[in-house]
Amino acid sequence: MKSGNNYSDQALLKGLIEGREEILLELYRISYKTVRHLILSNHGVEEDAKDIFQDAIMVIFQKVRKNELQLSCSLNTYIYSVCRNLWLKELSLRGRTVYQFESTEEITDEDNDIELWQHYNERISFYRKIFEELSEDCKRILKLFMSGETISNITRIMGYSSEQHTKNRRYRCKLSLIQRIRATSIYNELKNESDEDNRKIPGWYAKR
């Protein structure tokens, strides 16, 4: 299916996964104008439009990566629908009513997890921000572990005296990260959302 542009929807989704900048620009060209209009017509400002659009693209990115996206409409329509859902949710959080939503194809039932993916994206973005505040040493060792490097290689790379020391250092760094995250007030808000998500769709967490 084409979105009225030079790329097929499949090509756009493939480019999105590959992070191709010309495809990202194309996504703005085909979809942003209508999303912006929707949000500015419903209590939003430019910054809201920018955020909602980017949140929607990141949600779609996650769903495509997990092979969870089956398009039953054009990608342009789908992006609009995701943005509409996210903006409706945001408005309800802000206690606002909605008075102008354009009619569009409905998102199917299996797409109920859009909000869950958005919450998940919010959480990992926040955790990454806290991670960036750790010492360079801690960041490096945790990165090395997450890249699947062997303990012996990490010990050598980090210049540590023993593998046991490397393991201990890793646990201390991870503990420090977890403690920093839990000490923030934002974490409690994110955690509450996550608990709610787990109640709404049991087993969703395991899917990731």
Partner 1 sequence: MKVTRIIEKYLDGTLSDEEKKEFTEYLEKDSEFKELLQLHAEANRAIGDDAFFILKEKLNRAYQLYETESHSLSEIENKLHKGFNKLNRRILSLAATFLLITASVLAWYLFYNSDTRGDKLFADYYTLYDPDIIYRSFEKSNDTWQDALLLYKEHKWQLADSLFSIILNSDSTDTAALFYSGITDIELNQLERAIDKLQKIINIGDSGYVIHARWYLALLYCKQNETDNARKMLQPLVSENNYYSKKVRSLLSRL
Residues that bind partner 1 (CB under 8 A): 16, 19, 21-22, 24-25, 27-29, 32, 50, 53-54, 57-58, 61-62, 120-121, 123-125, 127-128, 131, 136, 140, 142-144, 146-147, 149, 153, 156-159, 170-172, 174-175, 177-178, 181-182, 191, 194, 205, 208
Query: Please, which residue, 90 or 197, has the CB nearer to partner 1?
Result: 197
Query: Please, which residue, 18 or 109, has the CB nearer to partner 1?
Result: 18
3-state class (DSSP) for residue 8: strand
Query: Please, which residue, 1 or 157, has the CB nearer to partner 1?
Result: 157
CB 54, min distance to partner 1, A: 5
Q: At 195, list the tokens.
A: 């608990």
Query: Please, which residue, 94 or 129, has the CB nearer to partner 1?
Result: 129
Task: Please tell me the chain's helix, strand, coil percentages from 3-state DSSP, rounded to the nearest 5.
Answer: 75, 0, 25
CB 151, min distance to partner 1, A: 10
d(CA 51, CA 56): 8
| Residues in Cβ contact with 100 at an 8 Å cutoff, skipping those fewer than 6 apart | 38, 41, 42
CA distances from 164 to 159, 167, 172, 173, 174 (A): 13, 5, 12, 14, 15
